[in-house]
Structure 1
Amino acid sequence: MMEANAKTGKRVGQDDAASAAPAIVLVRPQLGENIGFAARAMGNFGLRDLRLVAPRDGWPNEKARATAAVAGVIVDEAKVFDTVEDAVADLNYVIATTARPREMVKEVLSPETAAAALRAKRQASQRTGVLFGAERSGLDNDSIVLADAILTAPVSAAFASLSLPQAVLLFAYEWLKSESPSDLGRTTTYDGPAREGISAPDTQPATRAELYNLFEHLEGALDDAGFLRPPEKRPSMVRSIRNMFHRMGATDQDVRTWRGIVSALTRPPTEPRR
């Protein structure tokens, strides 16, 4: 469940300056010191929105506050969630960090290309975030499946392990370094500069919450139809379906259309058409 900040009373979704930059989401972090060092890395490179999912030692954590040094305000304003789904529910685009190849069809980005992709999303007024896993084992597959892309750093094969603060620092550095003009063409009296990518002026990328509601609707209908069988294969089938929607970059209008399609296909035949 989403929690309000104890000092400010702010909740995720409120407009503030930090919302323009990616949220850093630490999933089940173990040591308060690592949370503090990660916050310090964020402050070094212009990131402010720190989100914690089920920190092992509870929250608030004085060790995190102490190691954050002058970035203590980032720790003070950190938001705590019970689940990854809650932590990213208001975001339009999410990247998951992992050092290992996974059996998922997702775009793989380096820290540099990830920063560039997030800058482009920012220019399109999208809210973004980067997931980082726990110190011991990283992100699990159920967390990674919630993301649109994977971030993997180029590291030495002889010693590929990064600590949690190091991973945050590496991305945060690339984020700040990527700051550069991204306008294309020229601005006129009648319109603004062009942007790379698909132009969709009357719609926005779907939020995680909109997608979760669609998944629940669609998967419920597929369960009723007997599609998600046998039971032991259901989790992998659900992940494949969800990954298809993440790859397509669904808009809020796409989600409404798909919800209408599912409703139409599951409507009893005796119900009059409208």
Structure 2
Amino acid sequence: MLDNLRVVLVRTKYPENIGMAARACANMGCSDLVLVDPLNLDLDKALPLATAHARHILESVRVTHGLAAALADAHVVFGTTARTGGWRKSLVPPVEAGRMAAAELVKGKRVALVFGSEDKGLENEEIQMCGQLVTIPTAREMSSLNLAQAVLVLLYECFRQSQPAGHAAHDQVAERHATHAEQEALMANIQETLSAIDFLKPQNPDYWLLPVRRFFAKLDLRRSEFNMLMGICRQVRWIAGKAGKNTPDKNRQGES
């Protein structure tokens, strides 16, 4: 039921948490577990916590360097955070994240759930890569969850709200969705274009671009629309250049 769902653990410190997260994946029918730069990858310590039921998940776990590599072929990305404010705005609760993820999964999209390290969570640069941010409500006195507990809560909501397998098929073959890598290329192009027309503040443009990122994360962006937006950005930069702006047009991957 959650075949297209991926759990991504970033800079995990304790192999036991990897094992418990793998067990949570097995409980909810998710077999795609990716580790980003784990600080201590010891499968001998992880296996007892995973139990025999999740052994196959640990044995097939993929390790990447950097979060972008783990998300390159994903279409929709949910990041998790216990902190709020600043870079962490427009947070959704697990029940809403589960509903949104289930709606994307039934379309055949690949959805990624991203969890940060046990002590520091996700960095601001990693938060930028996530189209939606999820926070799990807790008692005010104890806002930090164990990593594997957080994984289980999010997977449960995705599992609970997923459509039955028989409803997941498309009536027609649809145009493919823009991947995360393509969306990141588009965001870089939009940032350069908005800077060229003085729409973005020169101080900390990544921060001021966040509302634009959140807006695009709500769209069901297709490849043809990605190409169209890339072309619009290129044309706007060309016009800005004619007006005296220094905006060299750069070839971008995936632009046609």
Taking structure 1 as the reference length, the TM-score comes to 0.75
Task: Classify 1:105/1:202 alpha carbon distance in 2 versus 1 (closer, same or farther; 3 Å).
Answer: farther
2:41 counterpart of 1:69 = no
1:110 counterpart (79, 93, 99):
93
The alignment covers a number of residue pairs equal to 237
Find the residue that maps to 1:90 and give its secondary structure.
coil
For 2:25, the equivalent position in structure 1 comes to: 42
For 2:249, the equivalent position in structure 1 comes to: none
d(CA) in 2 for partners of 1:30 and 1:43? 21
For 1:213, the equivalent position in structure 2 comes to: 185
Describe the superposition over 1:28-64 as per-residue Cα deviations: whole angstroms up to 9, x where unpaired: 111111111111111112111001111112x464322
d(CA) in 2 for partners of 1:236 and 1:115? 27
1:240 Cα offset (Å): 4.2
For 2:106, the equivalent position in structure 1 comes to: 123
Find the residue that maps to 2:114 and give its secondary structure.
strand
Question: Which has the larger displacement, 136-145 or 64-73?
Answer: 64-73
Find the residue that maps to 1:100 and give its secondary structure.
coil
Percent of pairs with identical residues: 30
Question: Which has the larger displacement, 240-249 or 152-161?
Answer: 240-249
Task: Classify 1:173/1:219 alpha carbon distance in 2 versus 1 (closer, same or farther; 3 Å).
Answer: closer
1:229 Cα offset (Å): 5.3
Taking structure 2 as the reference length, the TM-score comes to 0.79
1:228 Cα offset (Å): 5.3
1:210 Cα offset (Å): 0.9
Letter aligned with residue 189 of structure 2 = H
Find the residue that maps to 1:121 and give its secondary structure.
helix
Describe the superposition over 1:66-88 as per-residue Cα deviations: whole angstroms up to 9, x where unpaired: 43221121111111111111111
Q: Are the aligned partners of 1:106 and 1:149 in contact in 2 as well (CA < 8 Å)?
A: no
Letter aligned with residue 180 of structure 2 = R
d(CA) in 1 for partners of 2:175 and 2:226? 11
Task: Classify 1:226/1:60 alpha carbon distance in 2 versus 1 (closer, same or farther; 3 Å).
Answer: farther
CA RMSD across the alignment: 2.9
Q: Which runs of 5+ in 1 are unaligned?
A: 1-16, 185-190, 193-199, 270-274
Find the residue that maps to 1:72 and give its secondary structure.
helix
1:168 counterpart (141, 151, 167):
151
Q: Which runs of 5+ in 2 are unaligned?
A: 243-256
d(CA) in 1 for partners of 2:135 and 2:30? 20
Letter aligned with residue 236 of structure 1 = Y
d(CA) in 2 for partners of 1:247 and 1:122? 15
Equivalence map 1:89-238=2 (5 Å):
89-104=72-87, 107-181=90-164, 192=171, 202-221=174-193, 230=202, 232-238=203-209
